[in-house]
Chains A and B, each alone.
Chain A
Amino acid sequence: MAAKVNARTITDDELFFGHKACAGCGGSLAVRAALKVLGPRAICALPAGCMSAVGFNFPQLCFANNAIITPFAATAAVLSGIEAGLRAQGKKPEDCTVVGFAGDGGTADIGLQALSGAIDRNDDILYICYDNEAYMNTGIQKSSLTPFGAKTTTTPAGKNAHGCLTQKKSLFEIVAAHGIPYAATASIGYLPDFMGKVQKAASIRGAKYLHVIAPCPTGWGCGVDETVEIAKEVVDCGLWYLAEYEGPQVSGVPGGKFTLNRDPKEFTSVAAYLRRQGRFRALSDEEVASVEQGRDEKWRYLRSL
């Protein structure tokens, strides 16, 4: 494997540039960083979602790579098709990663069966879910990755309910349960960690899945300059975790190997994280305490793996 990428060694080329995302967009940072690692020969597929909407903005095309838009549910299926097509034509060089960028809704709700199918076939693809915790492209509707208490247009905060009533789906564990060669979680607040995982994923043959938290200032109700800080804070306060799963075929461990990349001795305040975002404004102190309790339970489980 090549030397680990960092700000100094990474290419100066910008492969996702001139896009029309909101100022301070976390998702666009995830795509930009991933493509800088994967290089110009990567081939991208994007379903409906912010990154396809802001990246292919006639007359402006913002991907320097080959990139296409897929049907909403079909990201992973299209990735499989691209990869098979390249192989069939004998046009797939070693450094060509077939990579998908789908949002949380396009991954955890709408595209889940296609993703599961591609992992089952173990096609040589990299699937990156940029998770901004709601359907932001259509104006902030709840997805199954929206966390408890977050206000969206379909989970409004009112007298009886203070936002989203369900818990965030554990998609990383669902993917890992397939026995996928490589899966990892990341955050754009810890970009070197994310870029390292993209690089590692690209070096592994077979299906790979990355789940990167990418805050959305518009949907989360925070300042446009706070994106990266909040993405860091969600990890520091323990409501997100940086982990890797290496399947049996990669790790040699029966059932696969789980690694917690960051295990803070002490978490920062959950309340502080929630209270700085407009979407959690309606939460009561008891509800904030229950979120904190849920975090502690989750970490007891993570540390037992």
Chain B
Amino acid sequence: MIEVLWHGRGGQGAFTAARLLGAAASIADGSYALAFPSFGPERRGAPMRAFTKVSDAPIGDRSAIDCADYVIYLDDTLLDAAGEAWARELKPGGRVLVNSVKAYADERIVAIDANGLSTEVLGRAIPNTVFLGVLSVLCESVSEEHVVEAIRQYMPAKLHAKNELIVAEARQRVLARVAQGGREAAVAEAKEGAASAQGSEGPEGSEEPEAFGTPGAPDTPGAPNTSGIPANVSRETSRAAGEGGQAGVSAPEAHDVVRACEHIPVLRSRFAVPPSLDPAEYARTTCYPAGHLVAKNAGWRNERPVINAEACTGCLQCYLYCPDGTIYKTASAAARDEDSRNAHGAFAPVAVDYDFCKGCGVCVRACRFGAIRMVPESEANA
């Protein structure tokens, strides 16, 4: 069975893509697919998951996928927020495909600028169908022909042409990278593994690789929230967790789609190990720590409010009107936000709890002194 795990935000089309992929993969005779989303009562913009299972036999296991052949992130901030947890979602030989212009040091992560491509074609960043094109190259059991057929069967007529174009274009870009990457890999091998700087020059351009720790972190029962769940979230502990979350930067390293392609998982349900029926093991898969504030609301924002301590008068209007209660008085809170220090070393009277702020911007409008502004997350993290 091939299992595909989609991570997206409510509204990005992760479930639509999961369904189209399932439809495409089940068109051929004797092939089966299952696609379903998983979202709780979370709302627009909240992280959600969708699943596609593809097999050459009827699929009886209708449970969520914890460990997949392909893990797709429609939003790279979700991958960043996952810390090291992403590696636990991958089967051996599996691949992460992420919608990003960044380059990732780990060769198991393949970045594709799906926002750029969909914006070119649609005028809007709707990244989902780009990955159908990518998967039709990488995944044996999904053909371009069937993806197009699925789009025609399941999407409104007015969306057919553009999405077919996106799929074709995505295929071309991936195939171009395969060809280019193949040559470079051969060259690199000939030089006995000498580091090839050009190797990292993907068609999307690349920046500093994101910092990711090495995989193989201790196994924890699959929790629904991939950001490490502290036992109890207080302002102090959550801040410490936030700062310590990123591992050291590894050296930039050539990585390309070719390496991903070497390990294309194929249909292998006939050889699959039956799931363990040990009750103790089963219990661990369904038991979570639960209670008042056991998890953070990570990954809801694209922008964050930043308080200018010079301009802040301490009128507390932002504190009063924050729908999430994430602005707190620093005078009374034990923890203080280093970022809110002003030039004289004094703290702003209020600070923002970024572990729970959703970036709505109500505080910016509530501030009559222009002391709060919204800063893109990418900039704030830089």
Which residue of B has the minimal Cβ distance to A14?
B325
A12 touches B356 (CB 8 A): no
Contact A12 B333 (CB under 8 A): yes
Known: A218-B43, A228-B365. A59 touches B317 (CB 8 A): no
User: A32-B325, A60-B295 known; A225 and B364 CB under 8 Å?
Assistant: yes
Which residues of the other chain, B, contact A53 by a CB distance below 8 angstroms? Answer: 41
| A227 to B358 Cα, complex, angstroms | 14
- Residues of A1-53 whose CB lies within 8 A of B: 7-8, 12, 14, 16-26, 28-29, 32-33, 53
Q: Are A17 and B325 in contact (CB under 8 A)?
A: yes
Give the distance in Å from the alpha carbon of A185 to the alpha carbon of B301 in the complex. 33
Min distance, Cβ B190 to any Cβ of chain A, angstroms: 52
A63 contacts B292, C-beta separation under 8 Å: yes
Verify A59–B288 contact, CB threshold 8 A. yes
| Structural contact, A57 and B364, CB atoms closer than 8 A | no
Q: Mark B28-53 against chain A: 1 for CB-CB distance below 8 A, else 0.
A: 00000000000011111110000000
- Report if B294 contacts A (CB, 8 A): yes
B323 close to A59 (CB less than 8 A): no
Inter-chain contact A59/B291, CB cutoff 8 Å: yes
Contact with A along B322-346 (1 / 0, CB 8 A): 1111001100110000000000000
Evaluate contact between B362 and A62: CB separation under 8 angstroms. no
CB closest chain-B residue, reference A64 = B292
User: Is B366's beta carbon under 8 Å from chain A?
Assistant: yes
Contacting residues, chain A, for B42 (C-beta < 8 A)? 20, 54, 57
Contact with B along A51-90 (1 / 0, CB 8 A): 0011001111111100000000000000000000000000
CB–CB A23/B358 < 8 A:
yes
Say yes or no: A23 contacts B328, CB within 8 Å.
no
A-chain residues with CB within 8 Å of residue B43 when the two chains form the complex: 20-22, 25, 54, 218
B2 lies within 8 A of chain A by Cβ: no
Interface class of chain B by DSSP: loop
User: B residues within 8 A CB of A188?
Assistant: 321
Question: Does B293 lie within 8 Å of A17, measured CB to CB?
Answer: yes
Asked whether any CB of chain B lies closer than 8 Å to the CB of A229, the reply is: yes
* Number of residues on chain A facing chain B (CB within 8 A): 42
Instruction: Give the CA-CA distance A223 to B374 in the complex, in Å.
Output: 14
Q: What are the residues of chain A within 8 A of B288 when measuring CB–CB?
A: 58-59
The verdict on B360 contacting chain A, using a C-beta distance below 8 Å, is yes
Q: Say whether A226 faces chain B, with CB atoms less than 8 Å apart.
A: yes
B360 contacts A227, CB within 8 Å? Answer: yes
Whether the Cβ atoms of A17 and B362 lie closer than 8 Å is no
Q: State how many angstroms separate the Cβ of A224 from the closest Cβ of chain B.
A: 4
User: A98 on the interface (CB 8 Å rule)?
Assistant: no
Q: How far is the CA of A20 from the CA of B358 in the complex (A)?
A: 9
Most chain A beta carbons < 10 A, residue from B290, B315, B364: B290
Task: Decide yes or no whether A191 CB sits under 8 A from chain B.
Answer: yes
Please name the residue on chain B nearest to A29 by beta carbon: B323
A59 touches B321 (CB 8 A): no
Q: How far is it, in angstroms, between the C-alpha of A54 and the C-alpha of B233 when the chains are bound?
A: 18
> Does B324 contact A17, Cβ atoms closer than 8 Å?
yes
- Chain B residues with CB under 8 Å of A59's CB are 224, 288-291, 294-295
B300 proximal to A (CB < 8 A): yes
User: In the complex, what distance in Å separates the CA atom of A12 from the CA atom of B330?
Assistant: 10
Q: Is the CB of A24 within 8 A of B361?
A: yes
Q: Which of B290, B297, B321 lies in contact with A61, CB distance below 8 A?
A: B290
Q: Is B88 part of the contact surface with A, judged by Cβ < 8 Å?
A: no
30 CB contacts below 8 A, A to B, read: A12-B333, A17-B356, A18-B295, A20-B43, A20-B46, A23-B44, A23-B300, A23-B301, A23-B359, A24-B360, A25-B43, A28-B323, A32-B323, A57-B40, A57-B41, A58-B288, A58-B290, A59-B224, A59-B291, A60-B290, A60-B295, A61-B291, A61-B293, A191-B321, A218-B43, A224-B360, A224-B362, A225-B362, A225-B365, A228-B362
